[in-house]
Amino acid sequence: MEENFLWNRISRNLGLVEYLRITSICDLGFRPFFHSWPPKINITTSDWFTLEYLLACTSTTITLVQSHLENKDFDVILRNWMIGGLPNLKYLEIISMSFTDNGKHILGMNLRELAGKVIQTNDGSKKATIRIISRSIKISVTPFE
Protein backbone atom coordinates (compact mmCIF):
# COMPACT_ATOMS: atom_id res chain seq x y z
CA MET A 1 0.00 0.00 0.00
CA GLU A 2 2.80 2.41 0.91
CA GLU A 3 4.59 1.54 -2.37
CA ASN A 4 1.50 2.54 -4.34
CA PHE A 5 1.17 5.84 -2.49
CA LEU A 6 4.82 6.72 -3.01
CA TRP A 7 4.77 5.64 -6.67
CA ASN A 8 1.60 7.66 -7.36
CA ARG A 9 3.23 10.79 -5.89
CA ILE A 10 6.34 10.26 -8.00
CA SER A 11 4.53 9.35 -11.23
CA ARG A 12 2.41 12.51 -11.16
CA ASN A 13 5.64 14.45 -11.73
CA LEU A 14 7.43 12.23 -14.24
CA GLY A 15 6.79 14.82 -16.94
CA LEU A 16 9.38 16.95 -15.12
CA VAL A 17 11.99 14.18 -15.30
CA GLU A 18 14.22 13.98 -18.39
CA TYR A 19 15.33 10.34 -17.99
CA LEU A 20 13.82 7.57 -15.87
CA ARG A 21 15.59 4.29 -15.26
CA ILE A 22 13.87 1.49 -13.38
CA THR A 23 16.17 -1.41 -12.62
CA SER A 24 13.73 -3.70 -10.85
CA ILE A 25 10.45 -3.97 -9.00
CA CYS A 26 10.72 -6.16 -5.92
CA ASP A 27 7.01 -6.73 -5.32
CA LEU A 28 5.92 -9.00 -8.18
CA GLY A 29 2.29 -7.95 -7.68
CA PHE A 30 3.05 -4.22 -7.93
CA ARG A 31 1.97 -2.65 -11.22
CA PRO A 32 2.89 1.01 -11.43
CA PHE A 33 0.47 3.44 -13.02
CA PHE A 34 2.07 6.22 -15.03
CA HIS A 35 0.24 9.53 -14.68
CA SER A 36 2.80 11.08 -17.00
CA TRP A 37 5.83 9.87 -18.93
CA PRO A 38 9.37 11.24 -18.99
CA PRO A 39 10.91 11.86 -22.42
CA LYS A 40 13.36 8.95 -21.97
CA ILE A 41 12.63 5.71 -20.16
CA ASN A 42 14.89 2.69 -19.57
CA ILE A 43 13.56 -0.36 -17.77
CA THR A 44 16.14 -3.08 -17.23
CA THR A 45 13.89 -5.74 -15.72
CA SER A 46 10.84 -5.00 -17.83
CA ASP A 47 8.90 -8.26 -17.67
CA TRP A 48 6.04 -6.33 -16.00
CA PHE A 49 5.97 -3.68 -18.76
CA THR A 50 3.15 -4.94 -20.98
CA LEU A 51 2.13 -4.14 -24.52
CA GLU A 52 -0.60 -1.92 -23.09
CA TYR A 53 1.97 0.13 -21.15
CA LEU A 54 4.07 0.52 -24.29
CA LEU A 55 1.18 1.60 -26.50
CA ALA A 56 0.19 4.23 -23.91
CA CYS A 57 3.74 5.52 -23.46
CA THR A 58 4.40 9.06 -24.72
CA SER A 59 8.19 8.94 -24.27
CA THR A 60 10.51 9.69 -27.19
CA THR A 61 13.09 7.07 -26.20
CA ILE A 62 12.07 3.70 -24.79
CA THR A 63 14.46 0.90 -23.83
CA LEU A 64 13.13 -2.36 -22.39
CA VAL A 65 15.55 -5.07 -21.25
CA GLN A 66 14.50 -8.57 -20.16
CA SER A 67 11.11 -7.98 -21.71
CA HIS A 68 8.51 -10.69 -22.17
CA LEU A 69 7.15 -9.10 -25.34
CA GLU A 70 6.96 -11.46 -28.32
CA ASN A 71 6.93 -11.23 -32.11
CA LYS A 72 3.15 -10.75 -32.13
CA ASP A 73 3.50 -7.82 -29.72
CA PHE A 74 6.16 -6.15 -31.86
CA ASP A 75 3.88 -6.62 -34.86
CA VAL A 76 1.13 -4.74 -32.97
CA ILE A 77 3.61 -2.01 -31.97
CA LEU A 78 4.76 -1.43 -35.55
CA ARG A 79 1.26 -1.53 -37.00
CA ASN A 80 0.09 0.91 -34.33
CA TRP A 81 3.02 3.25 -35.09
CA MET A 82 2.27 3.08 -38.82
CA ILE A 83 -1.28 4.39 -38.27
CA GLY A 84 -0.13 7.25 -36.03
CA GLY A 85 0.29 5.63 -32.62
CA LEU A 86 3.31 6.41 -30.45
CA PRO A 87 3.53 9.86 -32.08
CA ASN A 88 6.50 11.04 -29.98
CA LEU A 89 8.64 7.95 -30.56
CA LYS A 90 12.17 8.52 -31.86
CA TYR A 91 13.91 5.37 -30.61
CA LEU A 92 12.69 2.03 -29.30
CA GLU A 93 14.80 -0.91 -28.20
CA ILE A 94 13.33 -4.11 -26.83
CA ILE A 95 15.51 -6.99 -25.68
CA SER A 96 13.44 -10.12 -25.21
CA MET A 97 14.21 -13.82 -25.14
CA SER A 98 10.68 -14.24 -26.52
CA PHE A 99 11.65 -12.83 -29.94
CA THR A 100 12.06 -15.83 -32.22
CA ASP A 101 12.79 -16.55 -35.85
CA ASN A 102 10.60 -19.65 -35.95
CA GLY A 103 7.98 -18.51 -38.42
CA LYS A 104 6.10 -16.03 -36.23
CA HIS A 105 5.98 -12.99 -38.46
CA ILE A 106 6.22 -9.28 -37.84
CA LEU A 107 4.64 -7.24 -40.65
CA GLY A 108 4.45 -10.48 -42.62
CA MET A 109 8.21 -11.10 -42.38
CA ASN A 110 10.44 -13.25 -40.22
CA LEU A 111 13.16 -11.57 -38.15
CA ARG A 112 15.88 -12.04 -40.77
CA GLU A 113 13.72 -10.45 -43.46
CA LEU A 114 12.74 -7.58 -41.16
CA ALA A 115 16.33 -6.66 -40.26
CA GLY A 116 17.43 -3.49 -42.02
CA LYS A 117 13.97 -2.66 -43.35
CA VAL A 118 12.76 0.91 -43.49
CA ILE A 119 9.03 1.34 -42.92
CA GLN A 120 6.95 4.48 -42.93
CA THR A 121 3.79 5.79 -41.37
CA ASN A 122 0.64 5.53 -43.46
CA ASP A 123 0.53 9.31 -43.83
CA GLY A 124 4.14 9.31 -45.06
CA SER A 125 5.36 11.76 -42.41
CA LYS A 126 7.89 9.48 -40.66
CA LYS A 127 10.11 6.53 -41.40
CA ALA A 128 11.63 3.96 -39.08
CA THR A 129 14.73 1.87 -39.62
CA ILE A 130 14.61 -1.56 -38.00
CA ARG A 131 17.79 -3.17 -36.66
CA ILE A 132 17.89 -6.65 -35.20
CA ILE A 133 20.83 -8.04 -33.25
CA SER A 134 20.21 -11.42 -31.63
CA ARG A 135 17.20 -10.94 -29.32
CA SER A 136 17.27 -7.16 -29.58
CA ILE A 137 15.00 -5.21 -31.93
CA LYS A 138 15.67 -1.50 -32.35
CA ILE A 139 13.83 1.09 -34.38
CA SER A 140 15.01 4.61 -35.07
CA VAL A 141 12.35 7.06 -36.23
CA THR A 142 13.03 10.12 -38.36
CA PRO A 143 10.84 12.55 -40.30
CA PHE A 144 10.32 11.42 -43.89
CA GLU A 145 12.20 13.62 -46.34
pLDDT band at residue 69 under the 50/70/90 scheme: very high
Edge-to-edge, what's the strand order for the sheet holding 118-120? 19-22, 40-43, 61-67, 91-96, 136-143, 126-133, 118-120
**Pairing label, strands 118-120, 126-133:** antiparallel
| pTM, to two decimals | 0.85
- Average pLDDT for 15-32: 70
Domain that holds residue 11: 2-26+34-143
Number of domains in the chain: 1
Q: What is the mean predicted confidence (pLDDT) over 31-37?
A: 72
